[in-house]
């Protein structure tokens, strides 16, 4: 049986993921972005204008499409999906990393998870974004896979259970690391009166080494790897008065020391 051809796509949502997904679809000559469905009038209108699509603020009145991609917060996926009109043969997929496919309901459903961090107004090369696909049946999976392969050269089939592992990996490698960047920026400004610019080359080189290494642990540096207890004690003393940051420092130091022994 030939793979179902997706002729029209509607994006539901107007946040960062919705913007990135809508732009990727709109800029793909072989796909048709039909509509943006978003309650936020300002964001919805702006995204529709940016992509040349229609805008609708009432999900119950969403126009008929072959594929609806729900790009909303994890906790809102099920509710939003339940409000979509039940058009025959339409596929409904969400982009959440940690929400099971079944949250969409009993209709033809799937997952269209882009493994990347997105920020409004900041373009990414979507062709390099890993897309993880899951479908309620083989035909649905193939249809989603066909769309994904028109947007990215990195497309993978993945179950909800394994996708949750990928999502956790993203939190560790992106969200937590960025929080440490923010902590460093605040420390620089408050105690050294220096701009974040001074640490940018360090971040770039660290990321480059980790990407190019067989395993990031092999390029780990710093006092924790060396077991330099004097420096560690000095740093903990400098963080005195902020117990949470002391705990973060100690936990990460212990983790680096313990895992570096396994190299």
CA proximity to 143, closest of 31, 257, 260: 31
pLDDT band at 40 (very low <50, low <70, confident <90, very high): very high
Contact 62, 37 (CB under 8 A): yes
With 60 as the cut, is the pLDDT of residue 159 above it? yes
Note the pLDDT of residue 200: 96
Note the pLDDT of residue 2: 61
How far is 197 from 194, CA to CA, in rounded Å? 8
Sorted by where each starts, the structural domains of the chain and their CATH numbers stand as 9-158 (3.40.50.720), 164-260 (1.10.1040.20)
With 70 as the cut, is the pLDDT of residue 1 above it? no
How far is 78 from 84, CA to CA, in rounded Å? 10
Note the pLDDT of residue 169: 96
Note the pLDDT of residue 106: 66
With 90 as the cut, is the pLDDT of residue 5 above it? no
Please name the helix (run of DSSP H) or strand (run of DSSP E) that holds residue 56, with its range, or none: strand 54-56
Contact 110, 134 (CB under 8 A): yes
Mean pLDDT of the chain: 94
Contact 152, 130 (CB under 8 A): yes
pLDDT tens figures, 12-27: 999 999 999 999 999 9
pLDDT band at 131 (very low <50, low <70, confident <90, very high): very high
How far is 256 from 103, CA to CA, in rounded Å? 38
Mean pLDDT of the region 216-241? 95
pLDDT band at 262 (very low <50, low <70, confident <90, very high): low
- Strand, helix or coil for residue 59: helix
How far is 44 from 133, CA to CA, in rounded Å? 26
């Amino acid at each position: 049986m030939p793979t179902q051809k997706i002729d029209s796509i509607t994006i539901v949502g107007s946040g960062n993921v919705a913007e990135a997904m809508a732009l990727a679809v709109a800029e793909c000559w072989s796909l048709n972005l039909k509509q943006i469905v978003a309650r936020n009038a300002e964001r919805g209108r702006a995204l529709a204008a940016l992509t040349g699509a229609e805008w609708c603020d009432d999900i119950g009145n969403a126009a008929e499409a072959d594929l609806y991609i729900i790009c909303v917060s994890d906790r809102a996926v099920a509710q939003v999906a339940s409000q979509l009109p039940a058009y025959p043969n339409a596929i409904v997929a969400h982009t959440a990393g940690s929400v099971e496919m079944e949250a969409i309901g009993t209709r033809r459903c799937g997952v269209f998870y882009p493994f990347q961090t997105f920020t409004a107004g900041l373009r990414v090369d979507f062709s390099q974004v890993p897309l993880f696909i899951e479908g309620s049946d083989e035909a649905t999976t193939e249809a989603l896979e066909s769309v994904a392969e028109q947007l990215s050269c990195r497309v993978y089939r993945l179950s909800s259970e394994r996708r949750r592992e990928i999502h956790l990996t993203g939190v560790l490698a992106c969200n937590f690391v960025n929080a440490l960047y923010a902590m460093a920026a605040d420390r620089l400004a408050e105690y050294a009166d220096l701009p974040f610019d001074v640490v940018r080359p360090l971040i770039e080189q660290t990321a480059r080494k980790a990407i190019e290494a067989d395993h990031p642990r092999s390029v780990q540096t710093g006092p924790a790897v060396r077991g330099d207890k004097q420096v560690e004690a000095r740093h903990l003393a400098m963080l005195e008065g902020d117990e949470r940051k002391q705990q973060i420092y100690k936990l990460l130091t212990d983790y680096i020391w313990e895992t570096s022994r396994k190299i």
